[in-house]
Amino acid sequence: MMRKFFGMGLLSTQGEHHRKQRKLLNPVFSTAHMRVMAPTFHEIANKLQKAFLLKVNRSNGEAEIEVASWLTRTALELIGQAGFGYSFDALEEGTKEHPFAASLKDLSGATVNAAIMIARFHILPYVDLISPKAQRAIIDYLPWKQVQIIRDMVDIMTNTSMEIFEATKRSVMENGGLGRKDIMSVLVMANNVASEKDRIPQSELVAQISYYIPTFTLAAMDTTSNALSRIFHLLSQNPEVQEKLRTEICDALKDHGGDLDYDTLSSLPYLDAVCRETLRVHAPVPFLTREAKSDIVLPLEKSITSTDGRPLDSIFVPKGTIIMIGLLKCNTDPEIWGSDAHEWKPERWLSPLPDRVSEAHVPGIYSHLMTFLGGSRACIGFKFAQLEMKVVVSSLLQTFRFSPSGGKVIWEWNNVVQPTTEDAEIVANGKRKIQLPLKCTSTRPGDISAFSLE
């Protein structure tokens, strides 16, 4: 379905086609490029810090802030600036939401509508049999409001994608992209010098925006922002962990004398432990599905008994079978992580992990976890997500202390796990508005003027 919405982007291609796109994209998600992008991350996180400061200063050092929406806005601005050299949000109170951001945020909920899901599995497979022009004519003609809402969202995102691509292409043509470090500029320049067999057409470069922004945003705006919400919620509930982490960050700032660069952030053990443990116990996406592209025999780690009583150490999986992968189940398996597997304990990462963790040979690309998947289709942006989390946490925690607001927080499954509250407004399909209100207190209550932004 996503290929129909956004074209032949990274996550909608297969085989050699996918390999060629990934080869071109890999360098811009490398550690070396993250070092280059760190100042951009800090610039955006510092805007968020200032927005919070204004709220806290107006309330004499303490304010209740709905942090989930601010973290979502920050995540989108990070992918906009670092990914495409484009600003979606000034991160100021009262700023009008960018149409792209609104469409992107609403698309996920629009596509989980029951009727749309039925159409996805029973009608969409036959759509390729007619021309794109005919497909559009049918959608325009159908008196189906939900489909037309989705059509308009996709149109907004496609038009914004073309605007971003054309601006990037002009910059590269005029001055070779001099001074631009965003992912799209690097991608266009790399494509220009790539060999003929590795080069991808312009339509697919555009698709890396119109497809990759939504799909990468699932990691950057949705999954990572909600992982950040989870971190701040957990820190508000565990003040001793929060204080220990704040001390580590502030000590590093004293030694460093400015924003913490990529290597310094990566070297902070407790910050890393808090991020890893949160991604382990509270994976933003608890499970994913995959479709078998051919008949396979799937070996089992442990034998099972079939319905007719036979022991099985493998099962036959026919082509086309949808397989559900329990990411959270693997991350919290007591046989791998021990009897406290379901408990959030950042300290477990400060000592060598039990031998059984490495012996389990979990195929994930990150810390023996399946949070970012593994193999040739693992999340290409996991280093981006890690940097985003560490920059935002270090920026806010050095200045604010977070505590519960008093209302009960509920974490709901909406494609990703998102926070809301018992008294939240019902916005659509019986779902509550996403929100995480927390008390935000200045860490320097006797010196509020020091933070004045006037």
Q: What integer best gives the mean pLDDT of the chain? A: 84
251-282 as b/e: b if 16+ CB within 10 A: ebeeeeeebbebebbbebebbbbbbbbbbbbb
Which of 25-29, 190-194, 395-399: highest mean pLDDT?
Answer: 395-399
Tell me how far CA of residue 403 lies from CA of 277, 282, 439, in angstroms. 20, 19, 5
Answer whether residue 74 shows pLDDT above 80.
yes
Which residue(s) pair with 290 in the sheet?
Answer: 323
How high is the pLDDT of residue 454? Answer: 41
**Element containing residue 412 per DSSP (H, E):** strand 409-414
339-355 as b/e: b if 16+ CB within 10 A: eebeebebebbeeeeee
Answer whether residue 211 shows pLDDT above 50.
yes
Rounded Cα–Cα distance for residues 392 and 387 (Å): 9
Rounded Cα–Cα distance for residues 239 and 405 (Å): 14
Domains belonging to the chain, first-starting first, are 2-283+383-451 (1.10.630.10), 287-375 (no CATH)
Residue 81 in tokens: 């600036």
How high is the pLDDT of residue 140? Answer: 76
pLDDT tens per residue, range 107-149: 665 555 655 555 555 565 556 656 667 777 777 777 777 777 8
Rounded Cα–Cα distance for residues 440 and 404 (Å): 9
Torsion-angle region of 338 (φ positive above 0: left; ψ -120 to 50: alpha; else: beta): left
How high is the pLDDT of residue 450? Answer: 42
Q: Is 330 one of the annotated binding-site residues?
A: no
Residue 425 in tokens: 């407004």
Average pLDDT over residues 337-362: 96
Average pLDDT over residues 389-393: 98
Give residue 338's identity as a one-letter amino acid code: G
Rounded Cα–Cα distance for residues 10 and 207 (Å): 8
CB atoms within 10 A of CB 383: 20
pLDDT tens per residue, range 275-316: 999 999 999 999 988 889 899 999 998 899 988 999 999 999
Which of 67-76, 78-87, 232-241, 438-447: highest mean pLDDT?
Answer: 232-241
